[in-house]
Amino acid sequence: MIKPRCFSGTGVFVALTIFAIVSIAYGTTVKKTNLVELVTQADRIFVGKIINVADGIDPNSDAPYTEITLRLSDKIKGNFPGEVFTFRQFGLIKPRPTADGKYTNLMVTPPGFPTYTVGEEVLLFLCKEGSITGFCSPIGLLQGKFVIKDSRIVNGVGNHELFEGVSLSRVTLTKDEKKLLSAKSGPVSAALFISLVKKIAQKY
């Protein structure tokens, strides 16, 4: 059984394969990823506001991508060149004609992959960029993209099982943080959650 945690892309064959597989089987194959796994597996963790979303075709691999640009407000893990950060994820925003105009490129963002909207404030746990395409995606796909709204935060699966099996023996927790870890699903305090993510990133 295929259990994709993230997708960085390594060429056309991989792109086509992952598109076909994920489009059919995402709902039953993606492994649940808890908070500690999100933090430890991510190459970059940050909070930012999405300021631009565009799509295109990678000239080196002919693989389709969506390009997301954010203005960063909190850099938690990884290296960042400045206050604005851009990354590319596999899949087009919508179908588009091929360069010769004969066909339509239908490789849009597959079901189960996160989508992005200008103006969203998000916390992202990104995997390492692919060596050929430079593509990346959140760890656990929908599980690694959190939207912040009205001081609450929730990922693409409603925080379901986010704290399942989490053991934080290296972290000194406050009373509120201990209570947070008992949540089964649903939005939680953004400030409290981000504070906990920072503690985990420092210790694990």
pLDDT at position 148 over 80: yes
- Are 109 and 156 in contact by the 8 Å Cβ rule? The answer is no
Cα separation, 118 vs 24, whole angstroms? 28
Bridge partners of residue 86, in order along the sequence: 69
Residues in the chain: 204
Residue 20, H or E segment: helix 12-29
pLDDT class of 47 with cuts at 50, 70, 90: very high
CB proximity list for 57: less than 8 A, separation 6 or greater: 63, 64, 65, 105
- Are 68 and 87 in contact by the 8 Å Cβ rule? The answer is yes
pLDDT attached to residue 9: 58
Both structure tokens of 108: 């849009």
pLDDT attached to residue 109: 93
pLDDT attached to residue 104: 78
Share of the chain above pLDDT 90, in %: 75
Cβ atoms within 10 Å of 189's Cβ, excluding its own: 15
Report, as an integer, the average pLDDT of 163-192: 97
Question: What digits encode the pLDDT tens for the residues 68-101?
Answer: 999 999 999 999 999 999 999 999 999 988 778 7
pLDDT class of 5 with cuts at 50, 70, 90: low
C-alpha of 32 from chain center: 14
